[in-house]
Structure 1
Amino acid sequence: MNVTIKDVASLANVAPSTVSRVIADSPRISEATKQKVKQAMEQLGYHPNLNARNLASQSTQAIGLVMPSSKDVGFQNPFFPTVLQGISEGAQEKNYALHMTTGKSEEEILHAVVQMVQGKRVDGIVLLSSKVEDQVISYLIERSFPFVLIGKPYKDIEEITHVDNDNIRAMKEATAYLIGLGHKQIGFIGGSLELIVTSDRQDGYKKALAEAGIEARSEYIIHQKFLREGGQQAVRELMQLEHPPTALVVADDFMALGVLNTLDELGIRVPDDISIVGFNNVLLAEMSRPPLTSVDINIFELGYQASKNLIQMIENSNEPTKRLIISHRLVERLSCSQPSVEKSDKSND
């Protein structure tokens, strides 16, 4: 026998219209009444027909996720599975489904987004990265389509709701930590400068050096893809210098894993010969050898707040633009120590 809204209303001792409002998560219904109705639905095994309700409301009850280019970092870097968990939890709380898209090029990604928007497949979009010139952001602003960015916009910052860390401050603190240990020859390994997160973290690195009266040496700054291979290539280049750095800040833990692997191959000991600080504090930071000191940026919370605030925008067209800054902290492990006197003396020759 099919259970109806009237059956639920009768058991919960409320009007059928109240049950409908609970299903729609109306703010007009008290939490106590919502719980009473939900208990009745669970007891009777009632499942609302979301498809019918969405059709009536012109809603897809879905949000789109735009991953970075699949030829780059999208499906390899462990940052993304964690941020997707946060997005998923925020969406599930409001019964929203997820629709993910990517492409091999920026043009393919833009085409996929246009299809999602014009095909009315989603009610809003979460963007998982921010670039200097971003065609997708420009398109979504032009269409006045709800979206939230994980990261900091390159422009129109006051018009775009975004969830980010204070990446300048976080990298400044990571670099200052190494300076506090006595390091003066500190290298920086980051991703593409087309990504705002890279330029912000590089700015933080340079600010820490400047405040300590240390010159930022151009040969100590390397940019590669946010991949293990990127870290491998970067550290080989740095170790070939006449005076290689005694410490490194690496803008991503996946890159840092490549750094650690290559240093081991070269017979360079961490932290005895060189100290390393990573970024993101993904699981592999704890599992690496030695365990990696890393900046924890609360990746899950970045994703959770992105989907939560996107759904607020979808359900309330008057929702104000927000800039949400997620906290960070340095997690100390075993990859850092004071510089060896011998290496420091050679570097200062």
Structure 2
Amino acid sequence: MNPTQIEIARLTGLSHATVSRALADSPLISKATKEKVRLVASELGYRKNAVMSNLMAMMRAGRDPEVRSTIAFISPFPLDQYCGFDANWEQFYLGAKKRAESLGYHLDVIWRNKPGLTRAGCTAILRARGIRGFIVAPRDRPLGRLSMDWKNFACATLGHNMPGLHLHSAMADHYQNASLALRAARKYGYRRIGLMLTREQDGYFSGMFKAAFLLHLESVSPEERVEPFLQLSDPSPSKDRAAREWIKKHKPDVILCGGSHVDELLASMGLKVPGDMALADLTLALPRENRAGVWERTAETGACAVDLVVERLHNNELGPPAVPNSVRHQGTGHAGPTMPTR
């Protein structure tokens, strides 16, 4: 955390007002006192908070003190494509935007994959717009690297961090969400519970759905055991022969899934939901009347990412943190007709 002027005042034996004037190079303060204050400030690693300094300058000048700083939302797509790509991604953005505005910030979307935009170009845009903090939105290729100038910005990620880089992050608690769905399925009378995800989903969620499911398998009888299927074809699940064979072999009572891939597969096999097989969606962007599962509350996760960035801005903490924090939001179970009580 950035040292405060109060700490400098305590160590120098001066008043807070004197320290503030000395750091502002006020002509009312002697040269010797300024040097004393600057020496202690340097030893503590004190850095001036530019936003607060500008605010105080405007107030002293009798001008409207309203300051509307900007936080960037670094997106893999243009905004319309980003929000249209995935309903949860749209909720990430809307939650972040609402929270930023409530704190007096503007959320500015920057398309990082724009043709011709280099790392230096993206950094130049941030600096030209006076942006000191940004959020890295979920990526279309979550395991890939993102080349950015991190050291001069306060930043956080939405979702899991990238290899080799550790920032503060906000994400859904996928492990707890899967556990929540498993408990609900058991409560509703289902015993042969299956898990079906695409290859991309298993990687994107860092294996957390799978981890919760494997722990569940340790507590069930051999008759209730259904091995997870984590290789569902995308984008053509209805043509996935291995997935069809898995369903025929294991005959699960209910399938935990992420999105509509399994719906398409079951329909192609002539199986009705919930008549022949129940479904619970682990990745609901919003509570839906026609679908059971877990509401991930991603708008709140987006808001949390803004809080992480704003806290670092207020403390004038730039660059990757020494100890990154991960804030995980547990979702809310949502009852629906696709998984009725048996």
Paired residues of 2:202 and 2:210 also in contact (CA < 8 A): no
Question: Corresponding residue for 1:344?
Answer: none
Displacement after TM superposition at 1:269 (Å) = 1.4
| TM-score between the two structures when normalised by the length of structure 2 | 0.65
Displacement after TM superposition at 1:164 (Å) = 1.9
1:1-349 to 2 correspondence within 5 Å?
61-68=69-76, 75-102=84-111, 111=117, 114-119=120-125, 120=127, 121=129, 122-129=131-138, 133-136=143-146, 139-141=148-150, 143-153=151-161, 159-180=166-187, 181-184=189-192, 186-190=194-198, 192=200, 195-213=203-221, 215=225, 217=227, 220-223=229-232, 229=235, 238-241=243-246, 242-246=248-252, 247-251=254-258, 255-256=259-260, 258-264=261-267, 266-283=269-286, 286-287=288-289, 291-318=290-317, 321-337=324-340
**Residue type of the partner of 1:295?**
V
**Residue type of the partner of 1:217?**
E
Paired residues of 1:66 and 1:109 also in contact (CA < 8 A): no
CA offsets, 1:125-149, max 9 Å, x none?
A: 212226664422x6454x3532111
How many angstroms apart in 2 are the aligned matches of 1:85 and 1:135? Answer: 25
**Residue type of the partner of 2:310?**
I
Paired residues of 2:232 and 2:243 also in contact (CA < 8 A): no
CA offsets, 1:27-67, max 9 Å, x none?
A: x99xxxxxxx9xxx9xxxx96685xxx8xxxxxx2222123
Paired residues of 1:132 and 1:196 also in contact (CA < 8 A): yes
Query: Could you say if the C-alpha distance between residues 304 and 198 of structure 1 is closer, same or farther in structure 2, counting changes exceeding 3 Å?
Result: same
Paired residues of 1:192 and 1:223 also in contact (CA < 8 A): no
Displacement after TM superposition at 1:326 (Å) = 1.7
Structure 1 unmatched runs, 5+: 1-23, 30-36, 55-60, 340-349
Question: Corresponding residue for 1:32?
Answer: none
Paired residues of 1:132 and 1:194 also in contact (CA < 8 A): no
Paired residues of 1:189 and 1:248 also in contact (CA < 8 A): no
> Number of residue pairs matched?
273
How many angstroms apart in 2 are the aligned matches of 1:332 and 1:75? Answer: 26
When you count helix as a share of all residues, which structure comes out higher? Answer: 1
**Residue type of the partner of 1:118?**
A
Query: Could you say if the C-alpha distance between residues 223 and 144 of structure 1 is closer, same or farther in structure 2, counting changes exceeding 3 Å?
Result: farther
| TM-score between the two structures when normalised by the length of structure 1 | 0.63
Structure 2 unmatched runs, 5+: 1-50
How many angstroms apart in 1 are the aligned matches of 2:117 and 2:134? Answer: 14
Displacement after TM superposition at 1:174 (Å) = 1.5
CA offsets, 1:158-214, max 9 Å, x none?
A: x52111232112113323433452332513224516844252222222222233256
Query: Could you say if the C-alpha distance between residues 268 and 326 of structure 1 is closer, same or farther in structure 2, counting changes exceeding 3 Å?
Result: same
How many angstroms apart in 2 are the aligned matches of 1:101 and 1:196? Answer: 22
